[in-house]
Amino acid sequence: MRVWLVLVLSLCPAGLAAETIYAARTIRVGEIVMPEDMVLRHPDQPGAYTDPDQVIGQEARSTIYAGHPMRMGDLGPPALVQRNALVLLVFQSQGLRITSEGRSLARGAAGDRIRVMNLASRTSLFGVVQPDGTVQVKR
């Protein structure tokens, strides 16, 4: 049985290990990862990305230095709402829908919970960034 396993591993050019995605250049916080920003290398690094499709188009959450592996916590979806940007606040409950203009007090991607300020009342609230860039407020 061991002879068969050694034979298979020696014939397979990459063995059974997956390639890890490394940064081809230093990627700063907030930059979007493009195909030319990464390179595939061996050996497999635990906790690092192995599929380029999961990396392309993602935003760097921390600085990734050239030659270092891209780890799961380093990337996330691109921010839709920037800090201090004007946003549409939406409150919905039992068929009632109220909208107001607000100012974001943090950056956020779709699904992120951020703090916002209602410009009409100057009240600070928390809301969830929606895929269209609006902020769903719950009280």
What is the helix, strand, coil percentage profile of the chain, to 5? 15, 40, 45
Residues 6+ apart with CB under 8 A from 59: 30, 31, 32, 33, 75, 76, 77, 78, 79, 109
pLDDT at position 17 is: 57
Strand partners for 87: 102
Residue with the bigger pLDDT between 82 and 12: it is 82
Query: Length of the chain in residues, anyone?
Result: 139
pLDDT at 6 over 70: no
Mean pLDDT computed over 25-52: 92
Which domains does the chain carry? 14-76 (3.90.1210.10), 86-137 (2.30.30.760)
Per-residue pLDDT tens for 77-90? 999 999 999 999 99
CB 129 within 8 A of CB 77: no
pLDDT at position 9 is: 42
